[in-house]
A and B are shown apart, each in its own frame.
Chain A
Amino acid sequence: MIKQMSLQKKKSVLGLTFLSPWILGFLVFTAFPLFYSLFLSFQKVKITPNGIQTDFIKFENYMYAFTVDSQFTQVLLRFLRELVISTPIIIVFSLIIALLLNQPIMMRGFFRTIFFLPVIIASGPVITDLMDQDVTSIPSIEEYAIFAVFLSNTDGFLNTVLTYLMDNLIIILWYSGVQILIFLAALQKTDKQIYEAAKIDGASNWECFWKVTLPTLYPMIIVNLIYTIVTYSIFALNPVVDHIQSNMFEVSTGFGYASALSWMYFLVIAVVLAFSVGIMVFRGNKKYR
């Protein structure tokens, strides 16, 4: 008995030894900076030759963001709007591509390679360059009369949504490389016998998709949702990220204000994540269990 205990203890010490780099790193490079930036967000930070000088100014940085800084709320709203438009498109698109690639077709590897390619090359400057050249919209789609008519007949909000989509569709689709592979991996792991059983019971392909494929993929949809929101919000071209970094080295605002902005941004992302994942889990429980 005593030997058993000591063995267990030895094992847990060993396990913690393997983990020690992470625990140390987490404390030094993540937990401490997280709280330090929270601390800075309530301070006016001045950089002096002797180091950093801070003055406690309560919520002034946060007030400043909503009262004086006209850009921040605008940029944040723009980000949220783009996120809400893009995320469903990315997920549905990657699901469709994964379903197509899951068919028994020739050159499957070739097509998989194509659809993953953007993940490899999509760095901020490359995408900026491509956007400058106007090649991120679907080729010559705006020349079709039907879109012109459609755009002129819709008003305000819908119009901005549509033009945003038209202009950035390829880039939005470019975000879906990893998501396609996650869906594809899940599809290939589902048991073929379920489909055979459904077919024998007389289910059509269409019914099979809604009654078998979608419920089995449901957890992966949630995983992809989280992945999409996180990668979308930390991408280098994101206007909010840009705004935070430009405020860092501004004399009038500085580190304190930038910290406040980044914390607000963090909270917004966390709320969006919690909200969307919460809805998905809730709906999933109601429908599929």
Chain B
Amino acid sequence: MLDTKLTPVQKKRLDKYSSKTKSFLLGVQGNNGFLFKLCVYGLLIVIGFVYLYPIIYMGSYSFKSLEDLLNPLISWIPSAFYVENYEVAYRVLDLFPTLLETLYVTVIPSIAQTAVAAVIGYGFARFEFPFKKILFGLVLITFIIPPQVLLIPRYVFFNELELIGSILSFLLPALFGQGLNSAIFILIFYQFFRMLPKALEEAAHLDGAGHFRIFMTIAIPMAVPAIIISFLFSFVWYWNETALASLYFGNELTTLPIELGKFNATFDQMYTGDTEAANINEGISMAGTMLSILPLLIVYFFTQRWFVEGVDRSGITGE
């Protein structure tokens, strides 16, 4: 036996070292050991890579020329910095006019939806009135009604009023709290206003301010975080909505995602008979996809704090 030959002093030292290593590897509290951390980081990095794999792939392929695409030796890094795919995709998507149109049909309904959700959320949070619970239940129920059920009657209705192909077919429901996922935004504002202390508003009331003035000058300035969150989420959701948009907007208006959906057809139309770039390839279509998500990526890059913290503030998790 080894330890029988050790002197007591050596044994003590050895014990000290082993317990130090043990606490370094396994941690004192169970979740701060080295091994545990290694596992957490390892898992996060691996899953994160799998998660981002399609985007990395997209980025890599969009810079590949035809030779690179066909060359089996080149897998991730293109042999040269090749931007022609982007030039083609830029022309096919008609990028800047389409981008402006997309912004027009997403920003305006998002603003309307946010404003109206604030008003409605305030009403639910600050006033008592008969049937409040039933009305609130109805708000939540509108979340689970699939838009497809309402699609046909709304289409007929807008068609009668000749609103198909105009932004009003998106704006009107948003203005009356029936836009895309409106229930979520109403819920966000409801929770937010409920958490605000009532004292300020009561003080203003004593000073003779009316309820609408209190709402505009006290409640709204305090609700800036909720406003930003709601606007960003509804912006992204309106941007990514293609099924409703392609139907309501007809041929009059278009958005980047819709143009991306028609990418192959537009490409064929533009380049038939052109011998040089007659065939669409992976590189071009990946460049098109990249261009269509780029504006959202830029917005996300600057505002991601609001997105990821938004759910904390929404109060969905209850107080």
- Footprint of B on A, CB under 8 Å? 8, 11-19, 21-26, 28-30, 32-34, 36-37, 40, 51-52, 97, 100-101, 103-105, 109, 111-126, 128-130, 132-133, 135-136, 138-139, 170, 173-174, 178, 181-182, 184-186, 188-189, 199, 204-205, 219-220, 223, 226, 230, 233-234, 236, 241, 244-245, 248, 255, 258-259, 262-263, 265-266, 269-270, 273
Q: In this complex, what residue of A is CB-closest to B261?
A: A125
**Residue pair A124, B153 in contact (C-beta under 8 Å):** no
**Residue pair A52, B211 in contact (C-beta under 8 Å):** no
**Residue pair A123, B178 in contact (C-beta under 8 Å):** no
**Residue pair A234, B47 in contact (C-beta under 8 Å):** no
- Footprint of A on B, CB under 8 Å? 29-32, 37, 40-41, 43-44, 47-48, 50-55, 57-58, 61, 116, 119-120, 122-124, 126-130, 132, 135, 138-139, 142-157, 160, 172-173, 175-178, 186, 211, 215, 236, 239-243, 247, 257-258, 260-261, 263, 282, 285-286, 288-289, 292-293, 296-297, 299-300, 304-305, 307-308, 310-312, 316-318
**Residue pair B138, A37 in contact (C-beta under 8 Å):** no
**Residue pair B176, A24 in contact (C-beta under 8 Å):** yes
Q: Tell me the dominant secondary structure on chain B's binding face.
A: helix
Given contacts A29-B154, A173-B50, contact A126 B292 (CB under 8 A): yes
B-side contacts of A34, CB under 8 Å: 145, 149-150, 153
Q: How far is the CB of A105 from chain B (nearest CB, A)?
A: 6
**Residue pair A185, B317 in contact (C-beta under 8 Å):** yes
**Residue pair A234, B147 in contact (C-beta under 8 Å):** yes
Q: How far is the CB of B230 from chain A (nearest CB, A)?
A: 14
B-side contacts of A188, CB under 8 Å: 312
**Residue pair B152, A236 in contact (C-beta under 8 Å):** no
**Residue pair B53, A120 in contact (C-beta under 8 Å):** no
B-side contacts of A199, CB under 8 Å: 29-30
**Residue pair B153, A32 in contact (C-beta under 8 Å):** yes
Distance between Cα atoms of A34 and B53 in the complex (Å): 41
Of listed A184, A185, A258, residue having the most chain B CB within 10 A: A185
Given contacts A181-B308, A188-B312, contact A97 B47 (CB under 8 A): yes
**8 A-B pairs closest in CB distance:** A25-B176, A15-B127, A18-B123, A12-B129, A33-B153, A123-B240, A125-B261, A181-B311
**Residue pair B128, A12 in contact (C-beta under 8 Å):** yes
**Residue pair B186, A205 in contact (C-beta under 8 Å):** no
B-side contacts of A105, CB under 8 Å: 37, 40-41, 44
B-side contacts of A205, CB under 8 Å: 30-31
**Residue pair A186, B317 in contact (C-beta under 8 Å):** yes
Pairs across A and B, CB under 8 Å, 7 listed: A18-B123, A120-B293, A120-B307, A123-B260, A125-B261, A136-B54, A139-B53
Distance between Cα atoms of A123 and B299 in the complex (Å): 16
Given contacts A30-B145, A124-B242, contact A114 B152 (CB under 8 A): no
**Residue pair A128, B261 in contact (C-beta under 8 Å):** yes
**Residue pair A21, B242 in contact (C-beta under 8 Å):** no
B-side contacts of A123, CB under 8 Å: 239-242, 257, 260
Distance between Cα atoms of A48 and B304 in the complex (Å): 50
**Residue pair B257, A29 in contact (C-beta under 8 Å):** no
Contact among B43, B55, B186, B300 with A22 in the assembled complex (CB-CB below 8 Å) = B186
**Residue pair A12, B127 in contact (C-beta under 8 Å):** yes
B-side contacts of A126, CB under 8 Å: 257, 260, 289, 292-293
